[in-house]
Structure 1
Amino acid sequence: MTSTAPRLIAPALTGDQIRQKFLEFYAAKGHRILPSASLIPEDPTVLLTIAGMLPFKPIFLGQQAPTVPRATTSQKCIRTNDIENVGRTARHHTFFEMLGNFSFGDYFKTEAISWAWELLTEVYQLPPDRLVVSVFESDDQAWEIWHKKIGIPPEKICRMGEESNFWTAGPTGPCGPCSEIYYDFHPEHGTKDIDLDDDSRFIELYNLVFMELNQDSNKQRTPLQAKNIDTGMGLERMAQVLQGVPNNYETDLIFPIIQATANLANLNYADSPETTKTSLKVIGDHIRAVVHLISDGVSASNVGRGYVLRRLIRRVVRHGRLVGINKPFTTEVAEVALQMSEAVYPQVRQRQAVILSELEREEENFLKTLDRGEKLLAEIIAKAKSSKKKSKPAMISGLDAFTLYDTYGFPLELTQEIAAEQGLTVDEKGFEKEMESQRQRSQAAHETIDLTVQGSLDQLAEHIHPTKFIGYDQFALTTEIAALLVEGEIVKTAGPGTSVQVILSETPFYAESGGQIGDRGYLAGSDVLVQIEDVQKENGIFVHYGRIERGNLQTGDPVTAQIDLTCRRRVQAHHTATHLLQAALKKLIDDSISQAGSLVAFDRLRFDFNCPRALTPAEVQQVEDQVNTWITESHATQTEILPIAAAKAKGAIAMFGEKYGAEVRVLDVPGVSMELCGGTHVSNTAEIGLFKIIAETGVASGIRRIEAIAGPAVRDYLNQRDQIVRELMERFKVKPEEIIERITGLQTELKTSQKERDALKAELALLKAKDLLTQAQIVNDLNILVAELPDMDPNGLKTTAEWFLQKLPQGVVVLGSASDGKASLVAAMSLEAIKQGYHAGNLIKELAQLCGGGGGGRPNFAQAGGKQPEKLAEALELARMRLGL
């Protein structure tokens, strides 16, 4: 249940003000304000940072000495255990901020309780009669403090059991009772038999954990010598209360994202049905989550944190479709989240290019299969409903769910979520059975799908050492197969045609890292050949992705590993050119320019950088010329391994967001560039040959992108352009210098022809429209016309509706057309029709929703579109009914 919006009973504060007042309050109480830790926790047992105390877990467990006795933080958190409830309840989120104050063996219950009450009632000015507290059932000390020191009436102090009010770090270790502070939306209901689980009346604002005991393996608890305090206050919950809104989503922490999404969908949030509001809330919540996940270094994948990110992005895209957004949109709403976060978390703006690029790529990839997958799922749902048996709920078969996963990339969770919306379940056991059958077929398959290798790598990491990389200086070697995987599963052997993941004892293959893609090449044995197409690195283990071209491969086999030297030399040219490019930008444009992202491939390079303006064509040319000058000057490159402090002291540039060890590899082009870099490079700039900038564009506010080519890729580029020029010369029968003039002439002719065509179409539409005038009917003294005009674009439909309204005094005109796979609708109302209560915007919005779209407009005129033209006739029939025809 969700509560109704409370009236403002305290000064309304913004989310930023609530956060700041919390931190300042505890700083005044002797706490050190510490920055939020990353969403990627240092604790290897936890996937994501799920609570404000997690960064301090080693201190609470006695594994690490505290650096300060008291601390306070606003900690970014991610939880996905209740993802299905996001948007459906008032307070479930994936991303949220936890405000906390912590004592490491310093103060204890009296101070924690007294300060919490002072903060809520004096700083946030919540009325004391609106607050109710809970204590652990046997914690008489906390009860006494609340009652005798703070003055809370006994009937407003609820004793609760271990499930609700006792915290443990795990099966053993520190633990202790909790005391929670709740806000009461409806104090008029009295204090008899208070039920704090009634979330329509109560919301938990603040949780105080008193870590005073230690639990051993026999579940025996003894007092701790050093007692700790761990507290948590949900920022979004406090914002809901102080801003007087009905749920967390309508606070200023999330609602601007929802509003931006609604604008993209041409929706009014307040007037939208609950299902639409739910989708908008999901998008608002998830966009915050993905922005901060990517900012903290998570990349989308099919495993671990990457899978969480991918799942959230796909849910955003799908819910965008549900509200009528049929184009890529995630980067637009992400920009709103960036603006909202940058003052408190400046890293999100610094990582902006990476964030938007990751979103753009993931959305594009998912959209490629979403349409076909949704159509198939709709057919599957219809089939399941039609075959439903009376005694059993309708179910999607495991085979159908597997087909959606295998062919269209629909995760099982997404199929389950969509099915649940239709009142269906999914045969999960049947799905797992199909997955197992696929694994058994994999050895003989000619085409396989790489699902995930992470789980198997975790198993292998216990038995094999990190891969030794010798590829800086050695391009081939004889080694042995340390492990072999097929579709992420560990196997002993694999046959011809199988896609495999191979782990070697040592390797000359560079694994994708720092923007540089992995090497290509082959593995060869006495009777086996494996073509290697990509190399990735997980926890120091190099995974070689390839396909067995002939023979059988098995664990322990000796093989020759040989990289493709042509590809390696191409990528080396591009990587060193990227370093020269950054140096040229800093020298010629602005010394404060820094890298915001990069891609180094065999055929091109991409370099994103911080810059508040576009480069002029002259500046682009100057940068290109400078890089080519350094190339022709034949600078020898130098690499050395240094302690990171020494490398930075020498002036080496570090890439933001990259994690470096105690020792780093430094690439130095003397007098030109010095950067920390683990990639592969030319030994002399002359080996690059030539450098050419292809494009300079903006990818986000304050972020520019240069795309360029170097070395042999420039020759390929020039050959391609030369071939195009030759074909144009042949086609137009002109000289090279005459091509532009000839194309300009053709463009002029085309524009003239298009104008003539449009004029003819308008005349034809008008002739058709005149025939429809006779179909107008009189209802309540209004001339009402509802009609379909085939194959007419929205502009033509608008013009025709306006013409009809001129010809039909005191008229109501509703027109529809199906064109290019879409439905277009328009409604025009006279003043008399409006006086009788008709509203063009409201009517057209209802019709558009029936056609799978959205829109609206003014009382006198409105337009909309939909993606289901087959529903147009039904929509127009609804219009006739609404207009009394």
Structure 2
Amino acid sequence: MASASLIPDDPTVLLTIAGMLPFKPIFLGQQKPPALRVTTAQKCIRTNDIENVGRTARHHTFFEMLGNFSFGDYFKQQAISWAWELSTQVFALNPANLVVSVFDEDNEAADIWENIIGVSPKRIIRMGASDNFWAAGPTGPCGPCSEIYYDFTPHLGDDNINLEDDTRFIEFYNLVFMESNRDANGHLTPLATKNIDTGMGLERMAQILQKKSNNYETDLIYPLVEKAAKLAKIDYMYADEKSKASLKIIGDHCRAIIHLVSDGVTASNLGRGYILRRLLRRVVRHGRLVGINKPFLVTIGKASIELMVKTYPQLNIRKQTILNELEREEARFLGTLERGEKLLAELIESNSKYISGEQAFELYDTYGFPLELTQEITEENGLTVDVAGFESAMNAQRQRAKEAKINIDVTVQSVIDKIADNIEGTKFYGYHALEYSSRIIALIVNGEVVQEASEDDVVGLVLDATPFYGESGGQVGDRGTITGLPSDKRNLKIAIDSVFHCRGLFVHSGRIQAGKVRIGDSVRAQVDYRLRRKVQAHHTATHLLQAALKKLIDSSITQAGSLVDFDHLRFDFHYSDHIPVDKLNDIENLINDWIAESHLLEVSQMKLEQAKAKGAIAMFGEKYGAEVRVIDVPGLSMELCGGTHVTNTGEIGLFKIISEAGVASGIRRIEAIAGTAVLPYLNERDTLTKELGDQLKVPVHQLVTRIETLQEELKATNKSLTLARSALVSSQAMALISNVENVNDFQILVASLNEVEASLLQTAAKELQEKLGDNSAICLGSVSESGKVNFVAVFGKNVVNIGQHAGKFVGSIAKICGGGGGGRPSIAQAGGRDKESFEHALQIAKQELMSFLNLTYCK
């Protein structure tokens, strides 16, 4: 089987982290295997020990896991025999270089290795459960492991073999014998069907076969390391260890990056996107560390694609998308990197022990520094980062920016998982019928399977057949009613407000408005036709929107996600640039032309490969079966889609774009409405513009001109207020000159100007310093209306010349108020949260300035 995507069909992990992950549902008994014997070369990504990448011989973020799997076919003896045959005959490894480990209780495996394979007992090492026993979780399938190690120095002998010595041994092949099931009490019982799961690291085998000292110098990675070294104008073989580590990191991370983007990940600050952005920015930074000061990600990206495209042809299909993402992210990062590095350098210089969480968050939020990057740089300089403080600031931002999310009823999901194996799946007839007589095969109330439910109960009904579409593919589920059959005298009515399907079962959720239902009852399921028509119009319009974008904007545009609802549609797509209003108008007009032309839709079922050969567009990353449903608007659009659609584009009626915006790096979103949803939208805006015209006392067609005039007037008023405020603060600052203390040849002024914003506080301090001259030291503080504390320090050049540093000084003062900050030797500002400590902080500031000048403080 081909490698699965790095985006797994598993909600418990962000990325595919092991070769067996795509088969986890099979091992857990949730799916049937595609065959009894399977082999794969699976691309994987792990970032849990990213700090070791480039520093050890064998740590990577991206790696390829070679695996052979048996689902109830061959077992322990064959797996061991074939692993030995592959290692010693196919790869021609000398048996004298091989050592094996077994679970210390697995006498069967030890016996096979010794008496059938012929391995010396001294080279069969028994190990505990932490090393040689695999489990999918606390309960479920599990079993012992046996691993094959390569011994680089067999001449050291067989006595006292220590497999933890990774300078001598490397584990390259792991055999898992899945033979038991562990229950909630920890008891093991034999599995009826025993499975084999093996994994061999391609990079490690390459190191062994190519006789290299580390994985990075094999032909899998070294061409990228060499390319990076050439860009840096250094010779890898003669570089110092720090530079070598940076070059290895570039080579490793670039392999991960191209595959992540190829599989549909775009850089962002969340989830998989955050992992990609972190890797990209580490590459840029390590490039700078070895002297690559110009943009280079596209160059190294091309080299990475060329190196791996024969094995992964998808890289060539997605090549331009990959390179666009690299170019865009590098430009974004370089734009802030220099400023961020400068600020971090100042923070490191002004802090002797640690960087505060607030400072680390500012670097993350303003300059795009991932926390790990800040930690990496600060640790290189002997400092630590307040991670708890960073998380606190991050959580506060998440709370502020929290968006409404769809709540998934995990209780119902778990119940469905329990009953799915015992009942037949639901047959869906909703493409051709909006009413259907069905039988109730399961009832769920309050997360429990029940036999009956009564009036006012909120119930989940599983039917043996249904006309209701279950939420999937971005389309919402149908709404409607479930009633008794006409011949049934019971007055049953259930209002269905949502439908979803899981493991082949359609769950209809709603409240029983009248009557009572039992498992086995026959009912009439009726879809709300008015709502179905609305969602059909929006779904077909979504297909036309993608076709118009490809035709008028960029033929390489691909879908990143969608929502098809009753009252609107949302379409996310991979594209980096803002689409101007005139282009949006062109798109809108083209789609309305297609609607007016009344194109008939053709719906067909065919083999997946046949559909792709005909040019049908698939949603990248979506899982498709062998048979697919194709929605074809001849000459305009052909997509794989399981949703409901109009039969003729003329049924859509009208299409209107509402908005276009960026939602993540490299992803744009268009929201639109179609059909009967357009008229309420236009009526609302018509009413709104008339009301605005009445309030502003101008005709509707003059609204824009009137608003522009008001904006100019407001801008002028604000400018006047700012000037007045600045003059007032300047006047207050000059009044403080009477508080200046003369200390020999120097003048010190430490004072407060309350409720003055930071920018005006800095202006006031600069004016005072200029007034008092080169021998002056000014420190001003302010507490804003919101309670935030601000400090500014401005030192004359003679104060700086004798060793005082405004950045370090003001940063230490701000710490008293629970904050921090920094800046240049002559001028700096800082902030804090604890206004109760404000006066005390100013006193300390005055004392420190006096102490620095070696004077006695006099009140």
TM superposition score category, shorter chain reference: 0.5 to 0.7
Residues 343-402 of structure 1: CA deviation (Å, up to 9, x unaligned) = 579579969999x9xxxxxxxxxxxxxxxxxxxxxxxxxxxxxxxxxxxxxxxxxxxxxx
Alignment of 1:741 onto 2:670: no
Q: 1:845 to 1:880 in 2, by over 3 A?
A: same
Summarize deviations over 1:691-741 as a string: whole Å, max 9, x none: 122333444565443322211222122111101111012101211222222
Task: Answer whether contact 2:470 2:478 (CA < 8 A) is retained.
Answer: yes
Is the contact made by 1:624 and 1:692 (CA closer than 8 Å) also made in structure 2? yes
Alignment of 1:553-702 (within 5 A): 555-556=519-520, 558-611=522-575, 613-699=577-663
Q: 1:168 to 1:334 in 2, by over 3 A?
A: closer
Paired AA for residue 146 in structure 2: G
1:176 to 146, 149, 164: 146
Q: Secondary structure at the match of 1:107?
A: helix
Amino acid corresponding to residue 669 of structure 1 in structure 2: V
Moved more, 550-559 or 765-774: 550-559
Larger displacement relative to structure 2 (208-217 or 99-108): 208-217
| Cα separation, partners in 2 of 1:790 and 1:674, compared to 1, 3 Å | same
**What is the alpha-carbon distance in structure 2 between the residues aligned to residue 867 and residue 204 of structure 1?**
55
Partners of 2:323 and 2:478 in 1: how far apart? 28
Contact kept, 8 Å, 1:530 with 1:549, in 2: the verdict is yes
Task: Write the distance in 2 (CA, Å) between the matches of 1:669 and 1:178.
Answer: 56
How far is 1:688 from its partner?
A: 0.9
Aligned CA distance change for structure 1 residues 202 and 512 (closer, same or farther; 3 Å):
same
Q: Secondary structure at the match of 1:108?
A: helix
Matched, 1:858 2:829: no
In 1, Cα distance between the equivalents of 2:719 and 2:10?
Answer: 66
1:516 and 2:480 are equivalent in the alignment: no
State the 1:771 CA deviation.
4.0
Match of 2:350 in 1: none
Contact (CA 8 Å) 1:804, 1:813: kept in 2 or not?
no
State how far apart, in whole Å, the 2-side matches of 1:878 and 1:203 are.
55
Going from structure 1 to structure 2, the CA distance change for 1:585 and 1:212 (only over 3 Å counts) comes to: closer
What 5-or-longer segments of structure 1 have no aligned partner? Answer: 1-33, 119-131, 184-191, 244-251, 253-284, 300-309, 318-328, 357-416, 423-447
Displacement, 1:833? 3.5
Q: Secondary structure at the match of 2:86?
A: coil
CA shift in 2, pair 1:568/1:644, >3 Å: same
Measure how far apart 1:35 and its partner are: 7.3
1:76 is matched with: 44
8 Å contact kept, 1:291–1:334: no
The correspondence of residues 406-445 of structure 1 with structure 2, limited to 5 A, is none
Mapped contact 1:502–1:543 kept (Cα < 8 A): yes
* SS state at 1:519 partner: coil
Distance 1:878 1:606, change over 3 A: farther
Query: Could you state the TM-score of these two structures normalised by the residue count of structure 2?
Result: 0.61
Question: In the alignment, is residue 708 of structure 1 matched against residue 687 of structure 2?
Answer: no
In 2, distance between residues paired with 1:42 and 1:592?
A: 25
Could you tell me which residue of structure 2 aligns to residue 811 of structure 1? 777
2:65 counterpart of 1:97: no
Deviation at 1:867, TM superposition (A): 6.0
Is the Cα–Cα contact under 8 Å of residues 531 and 547 in structure 1 kept in the other structure?
yes
Match of 1:230 among 200, 207, 219: 200
SS in 1 for 2:501: strand
- Cα distance in 2 for partners of 1:94, 1:870 equals 50
Paired with 1:781 and 1:680, the residues of 2 have a C-alpha distance of: 85
Amino acid at match of 1:840: A
More divergent stretch after superposition (769-778 vs 712-721): 769-778
CA displacement at 1:679 relative to structure 2: 0.9
1:193 CA displacement: 10
CA displacement, residues 128-182 of structure 1 (integer Å, 9 cap, x when unaligned) = xxxx999679999999xxxx99xxxx9xx99673446646689888842443789
Deviation at 1:742, TM superposition (A): 1.6
Distance 1:829 1:64 in 2: 76
Report the counterpart of residue 752 of structure 1 in structure 2: 716
CA contact (8 A) 1:519 1:568 kept: yes
1:231 Cα deviation after fit: 4.1
Which residue type is aligned with residue 769 of structure 1? A
* 1:190-219 deviation per Cα after TM superposition (whole angstroms, max 9, x unaligned): xx999987xxx9799942336599989999
Structure 2 residue identity aligned to 1:662: A
Partner of 1:323: none
Mapped to 1, the partners of 2:197 and 2:709 lie a distance apart of: 84
Provide the rounded CA distance (Å) in 2 between the counterparts of 1:782 and 1:159.
Answer: 77
Match of 2:763 in 1: 799
Change in Cα spacing, 1:503 to 1:140, as seen in structure 2 (3 Å) is closer
Q: 1:3-18 alignment to 2 at 5 Å? A: none
Q: Helix, strand or coil: the match of 1:653?
A: coil
2:87 corresponds to which letter in structure 1?
F
1:51 is matched with: 18
Alignment of 1:495-574 (within 5 A): 499-524=458-483, 526=490, 529-548=493-512, 555-556=519-520, 558-574=522-538
User: What's the secondary structure of 2:764's corresponding residue?
Assistant: helix
Quick check: 1:477 aligned with 2:442?
no
SS at match of 1:546: strand
Change in Cα spacing, 1:509 to 1:42, as seen in structure 2 (3 Å) is closer
CA distance in 2, matches of 1:584, 1:489: 47
- In the TM superposition, residue 762 of structure 1 has moved relative to its aligned partner by 1.3
Contact preservation (8 Å) 1:603, 1:713:
yes
CA gap 1:350/1:504 in 2 versus in 1, 3 angstroms: farther
SS in 2 for 1:453: helix
Residues 37 and 763 from structure 1, CA distance in 2 versus in 1: closer, same or farther, beyond 3 angstroms? same
673, 682, 693: which one aligns with 1:729: 693
C-alpha distance after superposition, 1:808-849 (max 9, x if no partner): 433142424324464444333333443444333334445556
Code of the residue aligned with 1:743 in structure 2: it is: I
Aligned residues: 656
Q: Which amino acid aligns with 1:563?
A: V
User: CA distance change for structure 1 residues 663 and 482 in 2, over 3 Å: closer, same or farther?
Assistant: same
When normalised by structure 1's length, the TM-score is 0.59
2:433 alignment partner, SS class: coil
Larger radius of gyration: 2
Indicate the SS of the match to 2:615.
coil
Cα 1:159–1:580 shift into 2, 3 Å: closer
Query: What is the identity, as a one-letter code, of the residue corresponding to 1:38?
Result: S
> Are residues 779 and 42 of structure 1, via their aligned partners in 2, closer, same or farther at CA, if it must alter by over 3 Å?
same
The one of 718, 721, 726 aligned to 1:762: 726
- Corresponding residue for residue 418 of structure 2: 459
1:522 Cα deviation after fit: 3.6
Alpha-carbon distance between aligned partners in 2 of 1:791 and 1:592, rounded to the nearest angstrom: 54
| Structure 2 counterpart of 1:440 | none
RMSD: 6.0
Cα distance in 2 for residues equivalent to 1:565 and 1:94: 58
Long gaps (5+) in structure 2: 28-32, 69-81, 154-158, 182-187, 217-224, 226-251, 284-296, 309-313, 329-386, 393-406, 485-489, 852-856
Contact 1:109/1:142 (8 A) holds in 2: no
Secondary structure, in 3 states, of the residue corresponding to 1:534?
strand
Which secondary structure state, in structure 1, belongs to the residue aligned with residue 659 of structure 2? Answer: strand
Identify if the C-alpha distance between structure 1 residues 488 and 800 changes in structure 2 by more than 3 Å, giving closer, same or farther: farther
Partner of 2:795: 829
Structure 2 vs 1, CA of residues 39 and 747 (structure 1 numbering), >3 Å: closer, same or farther? Answer: closer
Task: Name the amino acid aligned to 1:97.
Answer: F
**How far did residue 648 of structure 1 move?**
3.2
Decide whether aligned partners of structure 1 residues 687 and 53 sit closer, same or farther in structure 2, where only a CA change above 3 A counts.
closer
Q: For residues 490 and 162 of structure 1, what CA distance do their matches in structure 2 show?
A: 42
When residues 242 and 868 of structure 1 are mapped into structure 2, their CA distance, relative to the original with a 3 A threshold, is: farther
Deviation at 1:674, TM superposition (A): 2.3
Match of residue 400 from structure 1? none
